[in-house]
Structure 1
Amino acid sequence: MKYGSLILEKKEYVYLKRILNISGYVGDLQTQKCLTSLSEELKTAHIVDEEEMPYDVIRFNSKVTVVFENGIEKIVQVVIPTDKDLSQNKISILTPLGSALIGYSKDDAILWDFPKGKQQLKIVEITQAKNFSEFDLVI
């Protein structure tokens, strides 16, 4: 891990903690397991102000290219739950892949317990939203 722990922007961290608190209602046991893993990682996350946020860290609205251990490459955009749209590869932070990616940076390798078992993936590219105000949170 490039930075030693997850890195999250302060407002995004607060929002993420809130949605994780209510996500106990997720019916899928495997998804709940992934969210529990994310909650554990958040305990040691480095929380920073917007101006201190490294550009190569996955956050809300980041477009991410990942390569799975089987060689499959996938491009997704990590979004808040209400913005998910699988037809546009926009995945919710509450999905197993979304919860695996948030807070990691380019070139990080992640071993994550997905519903079909543990898989390793590598983050090969991250593109940020042109304007971070595209992600406006109501806190």
Structure 2
Amino acid sequence: MTKFNTTAGKPPIVVSDEDYGRLTKLATAALDRFPDVAEELQIEMERAQVLSTATIPEGVVQMGSTVEYHSDVEQRRRITLVYPGEADIAEGRVSILTPIGAALIGLSAGQSIRWVSRDGREHVLTVLKVEQPVASATPTVV
């Protein structure tokens, strides 16, 4: 898989301290099984501005966010960004350990990013809308 090993040209992203901690651990744990995507997720976490969960702006893609975007491949798509064990493409739940999942984290409506699919082709997507999950009493454990 061809990777973008640079942050040049990528939009600024913001992640919560909670997502940062969980996603950094997840990326490290996944390096043996999914090296390309895990490395991309690590790169995204390294370049992210980390804020406390309480101060994350409403329109930022976080874990559990529902995102509407368009790309050069599809006109529009609506997905929810989830941890690998919760993924179900038929239900629109996309894992953070996919190329598009790693590309979406931390973006806001109006931002675009280039990403590379598993087949090595480069794509561009633009976030149109971000909806946050309804707070639950029991957080998802990774």
State the TM bucket, normalised to the shorter chain.
0.7 to 0.9
Asked whether the 8 Å contact 1:58–1:101 carries over to 2, the reply is yes
> Residue in 2 aligned with 1:14?
21
**Distance in 1 separating the partners of 2:88 and 2:138:** 16
Residue from 121, 124, 127 that aligns with 2:125: 121
Q: List aligned pairs for 1:22-61, cutoff 5 A.
A: 22-26=29-33, 32-61=35-64
Q: Deviations over 1:45-101 (max 9, x none)?
A: 111112110111000110011101245211110011111122211011101111110
> Residue in 2 aligned with 1:107?
110
**Distance in 1 separating the partners of 2:122 and 2:77:** 17
Asked whether the 8 Å contact 2:31–2:39 carries over to 1, the reply is no
**Distance in 1 separating the partners of 2:32 and 2:93:** 22
Local SS of the residue matching 1:43: helix
The size of the alignment, in residue pairs, is 131
Local SS of the residue matching 1:25: coil
Shift of 1:137: 4.9
Instruction: Report the TM-score, using the length of structure 1 for normalisation.
Output: 0.84
Is there any run of 5+ residues in structure 2 with no aligned partner, and where? 1-10
Asked whether the 8 Å contact 1:35–1:96 carries over to 2, the reply is no
Shift of 1:135: 6.8
**Distance in 2 separating the partners of 1:102 and 1:123:** 11
1:86 maps to 2:89: yes
Q: Return closer, same or farther for 1:111/1:19 CA change in 2, 3 Å cut-off.
A: same
Is there any run of 5+ residues in structure 1 with no aligned partner, and where? none
Instruction: Report the TM-score, using the length of structure 2 for normalisation.
Output: 0.83
> Residue in 2 aligned with 1:5?
12
**Distance in 2 separating the partners of 1:74 and 1:138:** 27
Shift of 1:22: 0.9
